[in-house]
Amino acid sequence: MTTWLAAPAGALRRAIPAAAAAVALAGPAPALDLGAMSDVERAAFGAAVRAYLLENPEVLLEAVEVLNARQAAEQAGADSALVAAHRDEIFADGFSWVGGNPDGDVTLVEFLDYRCGVCRRAHPDVKELVRSDGNVRYIVKEFPILGPQSDLSSAFAIATLLEAGPEAYGAMHEALMALEGNATGPTLVRLAQALDLDGEAILARTADPEVERRIAATRDLAIRLQINGTPTFVFDDRMVRGQVPLATMRNLVAELRTD
């Protein structure tokens, strides 16, 4: 989900006028009215700004940094408002699996896809956060977005929950995160059997309308939260899009506890 490389190009285009204005207003003179300039004056002004920027390119980098920070703050504010508007569905939908400490003082929600490589890379850190902290409530939102194998994997996980209960789901969740190769019906049946579960019964349960209802409800929630990629995390009132290092997650949890 990381998209930081896409930001500077557009930001630079917006930063140049900002930098030009900064140059124009740097001195004690009153604000410059560009509209009142003649064509010759505008050309001279543009040449002066260009020369200044070529001699001081760090100004553009500073402008981009300020712009990126401002946009990140605006996104965080918008995301917090989205979380506040959908709190019940995020934290208490009545069907999503709850792990970690169910009575924890901080809740971590993860929208994930079992076939998502980034989700898999992020999983060890998520697991370690929940294990080592001991006071984090962890909720999994099944959000398959990568095609039929993703759909089947999530359906199989939910069917495990319906057929065999929360403990079995927790084991299946870990197994699906580590599954190598294609996720097919026979593969998932064997995976369940390795966990001493009735794989055939679970596979048959994937046809239960309740399975699709739960996936559809989570997809609808994701749309309203403007989530278009996995993993996406919600730490209480804060949404974090993409993989988060363990140290960053720990710092975020600590901040939430002091708020």
Q: Where are the domains of the chain?
A: 4-85, 88-258
Calpha distance 30→42 (Å, rounded): 17
pLDDT for 203 beyond 50: yes
Crossing angle between the packed helical segments 246-258 and 117-133, to the nearest 10 degrees: 50
Q: Say whether 46 sits in a helix, a strand or coil.
A: helix
Q: What is the pLDDT of residue 31?
A: 64
DSSP 8-41: HHHHHHHHHHHHHHHHHTSSSSPPP-GGG--HHH
Share of the chain above pLDDT 70, in %: 84
Q: Give the C-alpha separation, 175 to 137, whole Å.
A: 20
Q: Would you say residue 169 has pLDDT above 60?
A: yes
pLDDT, greater one: 153 or 60:
153
Mean pLDDT of 1-26: 42
**Higher-pLDDT residue of 120, 41:** 120
- Cβ pair 82, 203 in contact under 8 A: no
Phi and psi, residue 101, nearest 5°: -100, 110
As a whole number of angstroms, the distance between CA 51 and CA 43 comes to 12
Q: Specify the higher pLDDT residue, 72 or 98.
A: 98
DSSP conformational letter for 141: E
Name the architecture of domain 88-258. Answer: 3-Layer(aba) Sandwich (3.40)
Phi and psi, residue 250, nearest 5°? -65, -40
In the block, tokens 């994701």 appear at 222
Give the residue-averaged pLDDT of 90-97. Answer: 97
